[in-house]
Amino acid sequence: MGGGHRRRWSDEIKGRIVAESYAPGAVVSEVARRHGMSPQHLFVWRKAARAGMLSLPADEAPLFVPVVTEQRPAVTVAEAATRSSTTITIEIGGAVVHAAAGVNPAWLRDVLRAVRAAT
């Protein structure tokens, strides 16, 4: 910092730094200073990640979210035919995400990470 020149960060590096800032017990200002940047700059990147404009790297462990099931009243065959049986509903952090069959898994992963980061 203070060198008077502008650094260029790849999206991959930005994603890794943002993910590091979301680690349990991480302090944003400490993560930012460790990487030679201001905390405000890191907060801008975190906001971009929440908006889906920056992808975070895949975790080493698979990402799992709780499945919530609920009893619904019986429906007629005609009603069932009009409903799409190829969608799933994921509730995470108070938000509900609907995913249709054939959704790009990488896109869905990024959406779920952004929702998780925002909550």
CATH of the domain at 4: 1.10.10
Determine the structural domain holding residue 4 and report its residue range: 1-55
The reply to whether 62 and 118 lie within a common domain is yes
Which residue, chain included where needed, has tokens 């302090």?
27
The reply to whether 73 and 109 lie within a common domain is yes
The reply to whether 74 and 118 lie within a common domain is yes
Can you list the alpha helix ranges (DSSP code H) found in the chain? 11-21, 28-34, 39-50, 77-82, 105-118
The reply to whether 87 and 36 lie within a common domain is no
Phi-psi region of 36 (alpha: psi -120 to 50; beta: other; left: phi over 0): left
Band (pLDDT 50/70/90 cuts) for residue 100 is confident
Map residue 91 onto helix, strand or coil. Answer: strand
110 with 55: CB under 8 angstroms?
A: yes
User: What is the distance between the alpha carbons of residues 88 and 55, in angstroms, rounded to a whole number?
Assistant: 23
pTM: 0.48
The reply to whether 73 and 119 lie within a common domain is yes
Last residue within a domain, chosen from 55, 81, 98: 55
How many residues would you count in the chain?
119
Total domains present in the chain: 2
The reply to whether 41 and 90 lie within a common domain is no
User: What is the distance between the alpha carbons of residues 35 and 30, in angstroms, rounded to a whole number?
Assistant: 9
The reply to whether 66 and 47 lie within a common domain is no
Segment 53-98, tens digit of pLDDT = 888 886 544 455 555 556 556 655 555 555 556 778 887 767 788 8
First to last CA, the chain: 31
The reply to whether 44 and 76 lie within a common domain is no
The reply to whether 23 and 48 lie within a common domain is yes
Structure tokens given for 85: 């049986």
Last residue within a domain, chosen from 10, 39, 55: 55
